[in-house]
Amino acid sequence: MKISQPPDGARAVYVISVAAELAGVHAQTLRIYERKGLVEPARTPGGSRRYSDIDISLLRRIQELTNEGLNLVGVKKVMDLEERISRLETEITSLQSSTEASLAEVHRQYRRDLVPMQQAPVPWLDPKRKQF
C-alpha cells in the first residue's frame, strides 16, 4: 500500500524553534499566532507542532503585515481577504474558459447551418421595370 505524501511545500517538517528562527520571530509568538487562528501547524501523534514551508511563508507574510502597523486582528482580516481574492480569481479564470468554450461551440453550430450554394444567384427582378 502506497502512502500518499503531501506536496513538498506542504510537508510539515520544522519544529517550532526552527520555524520561529526561519520566520524571524520568537517561538512564543508562533504560539500566539496559532491561538489567534493565523496559522495552523500540523501535529505529530504526540502533539508537537510541525511547520511546513507554506507555514513559514505564511509566518513571513504575518511579519510583513505587522511591521506595516497592523494588529493581529487586522492581519487575520487581510489574510482572509487575500485568500478570498485568490479563490475568486481562480473561479473567474474557470468561468472565462468555460464561457469561451461555450461561445466557440455556438459559433461551430452556426457554421453547420450555413450551406454552400451550388447554383448561381438569381438576380432580383423589379416588377415595375419588367427587365433586368
- The pLDDT value recorded for residue 128 is 73
- The pLDDT value recorded for residue 37 is 92
- The pLDDT value recorded for residue 9 is 64
- Reply yes or no on domain 8-101 having CATH 3.40.605.10: no
- The pLDDT value recorded for residue 129 is 66
Cα-Cα-Cα-Cα torsion 58, 59, 65, 70, nearest 10 degrees, comes to 120
Distance CA(29)–CA(36), nearest Å, equals: 11
Write down the H helix ranges in the chain.
16-23, 27-35, 53-67, 72-113
pLDDT, one tens digit for every residue, the chain (132 residues): 444 556 566 788 899 999 999 999 999 999 999 999 999 999 999 999 999 999 999 999 999 999 999 999 999 999 999 999 999 999 999 999 999 999 988 887 776 666 666 666 666 676 676 555
Distance CA(42)–CA(12), nearest Å, equals: 6
